[in-house]
Amino acid sequence: MTMNSLPAIPEEIRQLIGSYLDRQTLGTIIQVSRALHSSFIPLLWKQAELRGGFWNDYMESGAGATYNSTDNEGFAEKCRSQLPSPPPSPGLHSSSPSSLMMDLPLLQARSRHIEHLTISAPIPSAYYTVAFPRLRTLTLTDDYTSTGSLQDIVQMARLNPTIERLVINDIQSSLPAQFWETVFSEWKNPKTLCIRYSPISKDSASVAALWRACTRFEDLELQGVDLSHYATASSPAIINNNSTSSNSGSVNEDGPSSPLVFTTFPKAKRVHLSITINARQTQSFFNPSQQLAMMQSCPNLREFVWDGSHFHIDPQLSSQFTTALHPNNNSNNPNGRTTCWPHLESLVLLHISFRRNDRLRRWRLAEILRAVPVLKSLQIRGGLWESFAMNALKAPGRHFETLEKVSPQEQEHQEKEEEECSHGHVKAV
């Protein structure tokens, strides 16, 4: 039996087999087997990257294979012509004439297979005019920008409303307001937004458009992002989560800051916040108290990851946090609610610390743990794991009867403490 005389295999079985093969193997198979060519081509093109006018699908050797069979030479040559070109050699710039330049008609012909697309360097405007009917993930990284205008990325957003996951990773230029407006009004079912170490426009229209777009997502990750200028922005629909943290009240380069006004984020189920502080300011405008106010606008939150690398938890912030976790602990709670987040299942606090001049700093972590609702997963890295904190974890009817995963770690010593509940259900990490 040869590669071109395979027994009749149902298409779904071929697809299943192909899903276990790496991209290089897929590229080799489609060049030697007519029987598997049509089945594996969609798998090969499922994930792709546009890089500086070149098409890179990580097929560094598949397109350069040699063939010994005379009968297959014509077929193999045809297959090679349908394969994406390998990435340019080191030192080759996108402006250099090269046979590796992506054939735009080929991209258009294969666009129906692409589900995950990465743009990682300037590309010609024409590439932004391609519609990808099955596109689910768009990743912008490095210098994604078009060699044309900023409106090119807006056009791509409009042509591809099926995108569910948007990743903005370490890009060098911010996205225009029209892009975020398109995400909000035209994308069918956006689920995940990740902005990592990337600039955010200080234009008030862009800021408002971004916050509005965030209301469409279930999973939000803002990591290593400078949001200090967000205090000057207002969102369209209003919930005034004003606060008077000791970190508030600075003046930025654009003028006095105003209280943050947040819209509600009704779809947000998982939020990861790791906000940097502007080095030119002694205090951040988007301070921890305002970050917490944002989180209080997520009523359907299931997982909260909060990185405290850039701030200390002072007494006022501790009180605000415990009130959000368990408002009934506060006599000023008129609504009698049990928590701001009735669906919360997982809480992750990273690199938390308390002010050294706080006389009650040894008890702060215990206060937070007593306020935390019953969860499935709890991870805390930092703080002071005194006996008070461990007793709060082990209290009858509390965490150790329901937790499936617990990870307490004292930041100052980086030592892991492991506890087991009476029925052994907790997995300590």
Q: What is the DSSP string of 167-210?
A: EEES-SSPPPHHHHHHHHHH-S---EEEEES------HHHHHHH
Average pLDDT value for the chain:
71
pLDDT of residue 196 exceeding 80, the answer is: yes
pLDDT in tens, 6-64: 667 777 777 777 676 777 777 777 776 677 777 777 778 888 888 764 444 433 333 32
Helix (H, G, I), strand (E, B) or coil at 371: helix
Given this model, what pLDDT does residue 384 score? 65
Q: What is the DSSP string of 75-141?
A: HHHHHHHHSPPPPPPTT--TTS--TTB--HHHHHHHGGG--EEEE-S-B-GGGGG---TT--EEEEE
Q: Is the dihedral of CA 263, 264, 269, 273 positive or negative?
A: positive
Given this model, what pLDDT does residue 193 score? 97
State residue 327 phi and psi, 5-degree precision: -60, -25
Task: Say if CB 232 and CB 253 are below 8 A apart.
Answer: no
pLDDT category, 301, cuts 50, 70, 90?
very high
Given this model, what pLDDT does residue 261 score? 53
Provide the 10 A C-beta neighbour count for residue 13.
10
Given this model, what pLDDT does residue 383 score? 66
pLDDT category, 194, cuts 50, 70, 90?
very high
Please give the sequence-ordered ranges of beta strands (E in DSSP) within 235-369, or none if there are none: 251-252, 255-256, 270-276, 303-307, 346-352
Task: Say if CB 209 and CB 250 are below 8 A apart.
Answer: no
pLDDT in tens, 161-182: 999 999 999 887 889 999 999 9
How many whole angstroms separate alpha carbon 295 and alpha carbon 281?
24
Task: Provide the b/e sequence for 279-307 (b: ≥16 CB within 10 Å).
Answer: eeeebbbbbbbbbbbbbbbbeebbbbbbb
pLDDT in tens, 276-299: 655 444 444 567 888 888 888 899
Tokens (6 digits) for 244: 């008077």
Given this model, what pLDDT does residue 73 score? 39
Strand partners, 146: 123
pLDDT in tens, 90-143: 322 333 222 234 578 888 988 999 999 998 877 888 999 999 999 999 999 876
The pTM of the full predicted model, rounded to 2 decimals, is 0.74
How many whole angstroms separate alpha carbon 355 and alpha carbon 152?
48
How many whole angstroms separate alpha carbon 8 and alpha carbon 40?
15
pLDDT of residue 203 exceeding 70, the answer is: yes
pLDDT of residue 342 exceeding 70, the answer is: yes
Given this model, what pLDDT does residue 144 score? 66
Going by C-beta distance under 8 Å and a sequence separation of 6 or more, which residues neighbour residue 165? 136, 137, 138, 190, 191, 192, 194
Task: Say if CB 18 and CB 40 are below 8 A apart.
Answer: yes
Given this model, what pLDDT does residue 277 score? 59
How many whole angstroms separate alpha carbon 276 and alpha carbon 328?
32
How many whole angstroms separate alpha carbon 399 and alpha carbon 376?
8
pLDDT greater at residue 89 or residue 8: 8
pLDDT greater at residue 411 or residue 97: 411
Given this model, what pLDDT does residue 177 score? 92
Mean pLDDT of 400-409: 77
Given this model, what pLDDT does residue 130 score? 95
Task: Say if CB 263 and CB 236 are below 8 A apart.
Answer: yes
Tokens (6 digits) for 108: 């258009």
How many whole angstroms separate alpha carbon 332 and alpha carbon 96?
68
Given this model, what pLDDT does residue 287 score? 76
pLDDT of residue 350 exceeding 80, the answer is: yes
